[in-house]
Structure 1
Amino acid sequence: MHLRSLPLLDQLPGAASDPRPLLLEIDLARGMAEQGPKDPLSALRQRNTPTLGHVLSGLRRAADDEQVVAVVLLLGAPIATTHADELAMALREVSAAGTRTVAFAESYGELIAGTLAYTLATACDEVWLQPSGSVAMTGVAVSVTLLRGALDKLGIEPQFSQRHEYKTAANQFSAPTVTEPQREMMQRLADSVMEWARAAIASHRRLSPEQVNAAVAASPVDADRARELGLIDRVGYRDEVYTTLRESVGRDGEVEQLFAHRYAHRVSSKPAEQLRRRRDPVVALVPVHGQITGGRSRNGGLGGRAAGSDTVVAALESVHDRDDVRAVVLHVDSPGGSYVASDAIRRGVQQVRATGRPVVASMGGLAASGGYFISMNADRVVALPTTLTGSIGVLGGKLVLQRALDRAGIVSESMGTHPNATMFSTLQPFSEDQWQLLDRWLDRVYDDFTRKAAQDRAMAYDRLEPLARGRVWTGADAVERDLVDELGGRQRAVQLACNLAGLDRERIRLATVPQVPLLERLRPAESTRSPAAVNALLPDGPESLLGAVAGELLGAALPGGALSLPWTLRLQ
């Protein structure tokens, strides 16, 4: 007998549900966080900003709930490409279950590109557009800015080396023009993303690829023309969307409106649900978000969010002693960073697998270079079509500021005990011997990265290496080259983890680890394995002005270390 069938549970406070039909809403104007804040103050400030995970959970539950009669997606605010990927997949599942889904926007781009917003909208059964709006499905653009000319004028000398021709992070400082390998790679990324968008639009709107291409060429188009082209279903205002949906169900007022993430909370907080799940096995979610660094993780500040190897490895180790944890999903949204920190996290993944627990890597928007390094050893690797991954390569170097300081009248001098004590000083260039040292180190790291990638992906080295060389691939292209196992979002990753562990997806708890109670966080850590140590974050402390400026300059080229993504792709 299931717990939910016990009559007593229906009598508990909060167990009774509102019998009214539910109209779920996803309002992108409220923003969407990748994960919830760890501290209470931030949680209070962001209480009205849902996390992607909670929205996806609400949609997954809605697909099996007859009380949910429709889902409304309100577009207009910017959204991350991969968030759009995840939402589109979830909305299609809701639609396939027989629940009506409707997208509305005042405009799919107003004097800006609206390709991404419109592509997401087509995942819904109906697409609405305000009469004054337009569809600006203008395609995908990728841009890069080169600073070499400006640096020369300022007296700043870039000195970088990379492995190999596609590892172009430092090109924005050292290259006077866009190189052919960089141009080739960027063009392919844009083409791949557009292929994903075109295929999705054609499938969801029942259009041919040629019709989609014609619509892109004609964009932006007004509402009437968009309807003629088959891009939208209805022209109307937002209130008309809700009126139409209410009328399709019954009298006005009978339908309850509820955000999808609040619906997920309502369902999961029912006493019957909590009691039923208390003994369910756990699939642990370990997030790796931000630049990969050594030490502890950092939530933000001038350096941005960082995934510290100490924090991530401790989280992975925390599952070893938990009998209830049966599988792990490693959610990676990182441009990479430190080579040694990435290697430490990869080792942590290996150790979890050695306990017999499967590990599935779920790639978010970025899982490149160091982000790929920590993912490639998982039992299965899942990426979204627009994930930026690969970038199997390495770079290193510095910006020499001495001439710029001289021009500014600043006197600065470095002294050291040995010839290489000042090797990475920005006050002097590399010597010939130091260049050789740097190149030998880069060769060693590249060889280690590529050989481990070939081993982890069960590929011959001669097949893997041409796919490396620092080249960035979309998730769609990475799957075709066996760098990734399959396309899908975090929900698919959880399902795969359940399959590998022999679990029923409907009878598990998905829990971010470690979950440390507030009082436990306030206690001093007893060791590196104690919960307080695992959950510790570096403070977002003040930095000197010079350090902040130098960090911004160097961070653009080396966001977190030798294994880092060259640049950011923006869908326009």
Structure 2
Amino acid sequence: MIKRSLLAIWRGLTILRLALANLIFVLVLVVLWVTFTGKPESLPERAALVLDLTGRVVDERSRVEAASLIFAQEPASQEILLMDLIDAVEFARSDERISALVLQLNGLVSIGQSKTTELGEAIARFRESGKPVVAVGDYYSQDQYRLAVEADNVLMHPFGAVALEGYSVYMNYFADALEKLSVTMHVFRAGEYKSIAEPLLRNDMSSGERAVTQEWLGDLWSAYSVAVEDRRGLERGALNALLNDFSQRLRSEGGNAGRLALQSGLVDELLDRRQQNEYLASLVGAQEEDGAYSSVPFAQYISQMRPALFAPNLPTVAIVTAQGNMLPGEQPPGTIGGDTLSRLLRDTAERDATKAIVLRVTTGGGSVFASEIIRAQIERIRKSGMPVVVSMGSIAASGGYYIATAANRIIATPTTITGSIGVFAAFPTVERLLAKGGIQTDGVGTTDLAGGLRPDRALDPSVSDALQQSVDDMYQQFLKLVSNGRSIDMETLDDLAQGRVWSASDALDARLIDGLGSLDYAVEEAATLAGLSENEYTVISIMPEFSSRDLLLQQLSDRMGVSRLLAVPGLELIWGPVQQSVNLLESFADPGHLYMRCVSCVPQ
């Protein structure tokens, strides 16, 4: 009887399992059918285009994970393509159905000054069409506010605030911690300012690194302040005066941050949600059935407009993106793989329609080996007669600058961080830690170098000398490439290099770059070098090489949105710094243990 009962239960569970599996399969088929065959919602006859930004604005989207369709994503992990935003604004400029542009910024996590400047140029062209631009937010972070000032009017909730503080670079230093753990960190570097070694060898920032960092941070903050003051009609220095006397200024407004923002000229009106909607409805001139102002999200808008405005078969200037840490071999989108990007550049150059390439570089560098693979491919394309122009994003330093030296021209945005021409190697050993636990390492080898890079042994002096020689040699090669590419003599260049970080304006003065401008400007430069006249070419963005599985998941994510089943508010704030440290350790994957990497170059 017990046996028959257990068998019956088991058969029942089997039937239930199969039924559930079949049900899920049918649901997936239904979802796919609706997603790919359903007609897109038609655009209203009169509406505002809404840049409803949630997440990080990026040049290239990272790979899509299947779990993102089931489990929640924190806003910081969601990504918005900069080109999607720019294209949407450009299309809307001449679209009679679009009567206004609304910047909905509550969910924006980061965009940075460089991308804001480029998006701001498109917004400025939209304003020139005579259509209004309005920024709406409950509470503006520093990044959000920099984009908000591109609007004609900035609206904020009465309980909100404009959270400005300036720029800073603070890092953890591990010298004492490593000593307490009995870990010996062997660092070999070339370049007086190669700051990546400092956190491993010191407990504080050196005076030289402090001076250099303060200089480029000051240039970035000056660019931010001037942009805000010009757009808001404030006097020069008004922003610094407000922040440096913020406590007293806030006290004068009874502690009300919203009133302080209004009184200081940072916002135009303090309106609650209902009042904001009424304001926008009157501005747009149309409302939905539920009373909300008539609007269309940019993602829906761009998905419908791009097919309708597909470019004719013209010669093309191709944009290829290099974003993230530089690692050897094949890497997923969002990380720069030496082999992956090299192959993508080669395939792009071999297309019959491609007449020039713009390489958008946003990276602090990484593996020396990966950097050289990419640089060599760019050089081959350039020597074949096809012009290559590098467009630097928010940061293009160290390995990022190394690959740029092979291009015909280097264009940086006014707030790009670049330079950091230097090389380092780092290798930890834990023989002292093991000895504390009574563990000793001994054995034999066939040569003096055998076992020389074991972390459980003290680093052999000959190995140490070899690593330093490799670093010095790679540094000299770096200098020679820059010297040849930029026509700067070695003695002058050595003074400019040394691992020092440069702001874009200083890099231009030092002749490390050719000009300041947006991605559009870099495209124009590439077209000119290729002998293409205006309106005689089209621009295409070469998409990263997603697998068919990733493309399907991305399509589902874009069309359906991401579910929020397991959202944990604030988790990203806690986990973020830890994850950054983990990512940094994972990025040390060069086969020769040599790196061109700028850690202190925090993109702003």
Indicate whether the TM-score tops 0.5: yes
The DSSP-based 3-state class of the residue aligned with 1:73 is strand
The DSSP-based 3-state class of the residue aligned with 2:241 is helix
The DSSP-based 3-state class of the residue aligned with 1:169 is helix
More deviation, 254-263/552-561:
552-561
Cα drift, residue 213 of structure 1: 2.2
More deviation, 19-28/156-165:
19-28
2: distance between equivalents of 1:142 and 1:173? Answer: 16
Quick check: 2:165–2:243 contact (8 Å CA) kept in 1? yes
Taking the TM superposition and a 5 Å limit, the aligned residue runs for 1:43-58 are 49-58=79-88
- From 117, 123, 143, give the equivalent of 1:91: 123
Larger C-alpha radius of gyration, 1 or 2?
Answer: 2
1:510 aligns with 2:540: yes
Quick check: 1:33–1:51 contact (8 Å CA) kept in 2? yes
Cα drift, residue 132 of structure 1: 0.8
Matched residue type, 1:72: V
- From 213, 219, 224, give the equivalent of 1:186: 213
Q: 1:500 to 1:94 in 2, by over 3 A?
A: farther
- From 322, 340, 350, give the equivalent of 2:351: 322
- From 483, 489, 493, give the equivalent of 1:464: 493
Matched residue type, 2:269: R
Quick check: 1:59–1:91 contact (8 Å CA) kept in 2? yes
Quick check: 1:284–1:513 contact (8 Å CA) kept in 2? no
More deviation, 190-199/458-467:
458-467
Cα drift, residue 355 of structure 1: 2.9
- Equivalent residue for 1:331? 360
Alpha-carbon displacement from aligned partner over 1:162-182 (angstroms, at most 9, x marks no partner):
111100102101124321111
Q: 1:253 to 1:33 in 2, by over 3 A?
A: same
Quick check: 1:367–1:388 contact (8 Å CA) kept in 2? yes
Quick check: 2:501–2:601 contact (8 Å CA) kept in 1? no
- From 120, 142, 149, give the equivalent of 2:176: 149
TM-score normalised by length of structure 2:
0.78
Taking the TM superposition and a 5 Å limit, the aligned residue runs for 1:232-271 are 232-253=267-288, 256-270=294-308
- From 23, 27, 49, give the equivalent of 2:52: 27
Matched residue type, 2:177: A
Quick check: 1:148–1:176 contact (8 Å CA) kept in 2? yes
1:298 aligns with 2:332: yes
1:63 aligns with 2:87: no
Quick check: 2:55–2:109 contact (8 Å CA) kept in 1? no
The DSSP-based 3-state class of the residue aligned with 2:178 is helix
1:565 aligns with 2:598: yes
- Equivalent residue for 1:528? none
The DSSP-based 3-state class of the residue aligned with 2:351 is coil
1: distance between equivalents of 2:274 and 2:509? Answer: 44
- Equivalent residue for 2:372? 343
- Equivalent residue for 2:105? 75
Cα drift, residue 156 of structure 1: 0.6
Aligned length, in residue pairs: 519
Taking the TM superposition and a 5 Å limit, the aligned residue runs for 1:256-405 are 256-270=294-308, 273-274=309-310, 277-299=311-333, 306-405=335-434
- Equivalent residue for 1:107? 139
- From 482, 485, 504, give the equivalent of 1:475: 504
CA RMSD of aligned residues (A): 3.3
Q: 1:397 to 1:43 in 2, by over 3 A?
A: closer
Quick check: 1:414–1:425 contact (8 Å CA) kept in 2? no
Taking the TM superposition and a 5 Å limit, the aligned residue runs for 1:123-142 are 123-142=150-169
Structure 1 unaligned runs (5+)? 1-12, 109-113, 300-304, 523-547
Matched residue type, 1:267: M
2: distance between equivalents of 1:227 and 1:563? Answer: 46
Cα drift, residue 121 of structure 1: 1.5
More deviation, 366-375/338-347:
338-347
2: distance between equivalents of 1:249 and 1:455? Answer: 56
2: distance between equivalents of 1:36 and 1:554? Answer: 19
Cα drift, residue 31 of structure 1: 4.2
2: distance between equivalents of 1:478 and 1:172? Answer: 26
2: distance between equivalents of 1:520 and 1:53? Answer: 20
More deviation, 312-321/196-205:
312-321
Q: 1:567 to 1:519 in 2, by over 3 A?
A: closer
Quick check: 2:389–2:526 contact (8 Å CA) kept in 1? yes
Structure 2 unaligned runs (5+)? 1-37, 251-256, 553-577
The DSSP-based 3-state class of the residue aligned with 1:32 is strand
Q: 1:565 to 1:118 in 2, by over 3 A?
A: same
Cα drift, residue 43 of structure 1: 8.8
- From 455, 479, 489, give the equivalent of 1:426: 455
The DSSP-based 3-state class of the residue aligned with 1:134 is coil
